[in-house]
Structure 1
Amino acid sequence: MKIIALEEHLFPRDILESEGLSLGIPMERRAKELDDLPARLQIMDDAGIDLQILSAVGQFIQELEPQRSISIARQVNDRMAQTVSDHPDRFRAFATLPMADPQGAVVEFRRAIEELGFVGAMIHGQTHGRFLDHPSFQPVLECAEGLGVPIYLHPGLPPSAVREAYFGGLEPAVATLLATGGWGWHAECGMHVLRMIVDGVFERHPALQVIVGHMGEGLPFSLTRADDLLTPMLKGHARSVAETAQRNLHITTCGYTSVAPLQCALTVFGADRIMFSVDYPYSATDKAVGFLNQAPISPADRVKIASGNAQRLLRL
């Protein structure tokens, strides 16, 4: 069985250091592993992963001033393209976009897909406090839809006002984790998707496909409730909240290795909309692959999640 992992991060340390930048907490804690290619390949071999879809740790790039954001995104994409070129049987890549400049992001998006051969783009949460339903990002969504490639919507660090209101007064290390992978990331990313749905993003861009990680960022568990309350409020929508999510959203197993969330995701979204991911280097590759291999699902569904769905969506 072929295994393709979709949310597998990297960042070239020399670019980071030459630009005087920091990945930001909590990304710094595994920074040395992000560009250790021999170690990455060995871990993939040991676990039985055939292909990683590489993505840069990129929220801080979105938050830079526009020209610098464009320059660094281009450097990072060029380096990822070189990595793919050096190992075409082991890697593909999602583009990093300079979302601080939406028109510049469109130019880089097109270059990454049409010239570098990338399979989509990864966007990290808000950019300067704006979600993807903001009118300024309409050109980026149009670009993704026109190119026929997905956007992987990764969580991002909350704005300072949110951090203070929700996570202030806690011990700093605990607050950071609660604001990110311990809870906050997933709640906000799920809300981000619902904002896009209720604001009509997928009515305007019916072919746009969005991927979210972490077993759906809480959406499988809460979609029925959201649908019941939000759908009656929508005007001019052809589909309900749940129908839109099930048509335009794909989820990955990233960072989740327990049965109950997988069963919920399968019930709500179905096996055709779920793909495998590790979240390298922030989650254990062997544990993720072990869960994939042992999960109580049918052989056909296992193949779909392991690679079949990714091959179809990303046209691999």
Structure 2
Amino acid sequence: MRIVTLEEHVSFPELSISKPTAAAQHMQAKLADITGERLSSMRATGIAMQVLSVENTDVYALPDSEAPAFATKYNDLLAEKMKDHRESFTAFALLPMTTPAAAADELERTVKTHGFQGAMIKGTILGEFLDAPKFAPVFERAQQLNVPLYIHPGVPPQAVIDAYYSNVGDTTGPNEAIACYGWGWHSETAIHILRLFAAGIFDKYPDLKIIIGHMGEMLPMMWTRMNGIFKQGKRSLIETFKAQLFITTSGIFTQPQLQLAIDTIGIDNILFSIDYPFSTNQMGIDFLHNIQLPAEQIAKIAHGNADRLLRLK
């Protein structure tokens, strides 16, 4: 069975500016590798293709005069590193989101020049969510190009860290596990999606497709309650999300959570992902092979939905 994974990270030390998170530091060698251990592991576990995306958000910290060139350099380097194995790799672009017009142009350039499949946007942009009107050019261009935007968690703004995730018990400073990969950034991504809905972004761009990871970033648990509370435009929250939101399995390899996602957003909107190298390919494949669904539904999760959404050959 063909297997495609969509949330698989890279980070190149030669283009690093800021200090990565502790988790990323630990994984730096694996993040920098594409055609060595990564490709060998894919072949050993039967993964046909990874969609690669840049792990860090250094581009957000750069002055507006420098961010577009940095993003271009990073995307070109990523394309160069995977050029000899395009049957195994494609990518989501890194965008200079602090300069939205340039970000839209970079999205178009990478799609048309490198064959990238869309873009990954990590967290808030210097504390701003994507419902801010200034980011409209990126949504407009993604819809025009018919490529999705993958909204991935990012490190919370410092004010949020200070208010919610610091001074836990008798400790001082932030608790990274609560603030980031254990809870905080997942709930923030859910808030991000709800803000887009409440701001009317999905109605304004009805052909826009948004992807989120980690089995829906907590949204499926609140599905029915949200639908009864959030009112925006002509469509309900559930109708809107089933038309425009896609969920990947990245890093969540448990059957009850998968079933909840299927019961809410539906089988056609679920995409298989691993979150490599923060999760291993073997962990993901073991989960996939243990799914108790008809073969045709497993095939949708494994590759069919991704092939359709990303128009993969």
User: Normalization by structure 1: what TM-score?
Assistant: 0.94
Matching of residue 243 in structure 1 with residue 244 in structure 2? no
Counterparts of 1:310 and 1:207, CA distance in 2: 17
Counterparts of 2:258 and 2:63, CA distance in 1: 39
* Kept after mapping to 1: 8 A contact 2:167/2:174: no
Q: Deviations over 1:252-296 (max 9, x none)?
A: 000011111100000001111001001011012101111001111
Corresponding position of 1:10: 10
Runs of 4+ in 1 over 6 A off after TM superposition: none
Structure 1 residue matching 2:120: 3-state secondary structure: strand
Matching of residue 21 in structure 1 with residue 18 in structure 2? yes
Counterparts of 2:2 and 2:121, CA distance in 1: 27
Alignment match of 1:298 (pick from 291, 294, 299): 294
Corresponding position of 2:28: 31
Structure 1 residue matching 2:119: 3-state secondary structure: strand
Structure 2 residue matching 1:297: 3-state secondary structure: coil
Whichever residue aligns with residue 271 of structure 1, its letter is: I
Corresponding position of 2:103: 105
Corresponding position of 2:255: 259
Q: How does 1:275-290 map to 2 (within 5 A)?
A: 275-290=271-286
Counterparts of 2:39 and 2:189, CA distance in 1: 30
Q: 1:261 to 1:172 in 2, by over 3 A?
A: farther
* Kept after mapping to 2: 8 A contact 1:84/1:93: no
Counterparts of 2:174 and 2:125, CA distance in 1: 24
* Kept after mapping to 1: 8 A contact 2:74/2:94: yes
Q: Deviations over 1:207-265 (max 9, x none)?
A: 0000000001011111211111122xx3xx01011211111100000001111110000
* Kept after mapping to 2: 8 A contact 1:26/1:176: no
Structure 2 residue matching 1:277: 3-state secondary structure: coil
Counterparts of 1:61 and 1:31, CA distance in 2: 18
**How many Å apart are 1:84 and its aligned residue?**
2.9
Corresponding position of 2:216: 216
* Kept after mapping to 1: 8 A contact 2:3/2:46: yes
Q: How does 1:71-86 map to 2 (within 5 A)?
A: 71-86=69-84
* Kept after mapping to 2: 8 A contact 1:26/1:177: no
Q: How does 1:1-316 map to 2 (within 5 A)?
A: 1-16=1-16, 20-37=17-34, 38-170=36-168, 171=171, 175-231=175-231, 234=232, 237-316=233-312
Counterparts of 2:305 and 2:174, CA distance in 1: 36
Q: 1:40 to 1:253 in 2, by over 3 A?
A: same
Whichever residue aligns with residue 32 of structure 1, its letter is: A
Paired positions, count: 309
* Kept after mapping to 1: 8 A contact 2:202/2:208: yes
* Kept after mapping to 1: 8 A contact 2:162/2:174: no
* Kept after mapping to 2: 8 A contact 1:83/1:91: no
* Kept after mapping to 2: 8 A contact 1:154/1:189: yes
**How many Å apart are 1:25 and its aligned residue?**
3.9
Whichever residue aligns with residue 284 of structure 2, its letter is: A
* Kept after mapping to 2: 8 A contact 1:11/1:76: no
Whichever residue aligns with residue 41 of structure 2, its letter is: I
**How many Å apart are 1:173 and its aligned residue?**
8.9
User: Normalization by structure 2: what TM-score?
Assistant: 0.95
**How many Å apart are 1:172 and its aligned residue?**
6.7
Counterparts of 1:124 and 1:68, CA distance in 2: 19
Whichever residue aligns with residue 123 of structure 2, its letter is: G
Q: Which stretch of structure 1 is more off in the superposition, 165-174 or 5-14?
A: 165-174
**How many Å apart are 1:309 and its aligned residue?**
0.5
Q: Deviations over 1:18-60 (max 9, x none)?
A: xx43333442221121112301111111111110000001323
* Kept after mapping to 1: 8 A contact 2:161/2:174: no
| Structure 1: runs of 5 or more not aligned | none
* Kept after mapping to 1: 8 A contact 2:166/2:174: no
RMSD (CA atoms): 1.4
Counterparts of 2:134 and 2:56, CA distance in 1: 19
* Kept after mapping to 1: 8 A contact 2:209/2:245: yes
The structure that is helix-richer by fraction is 1
**How many Å apart are 1:87 and its aligned residue?**
0.5
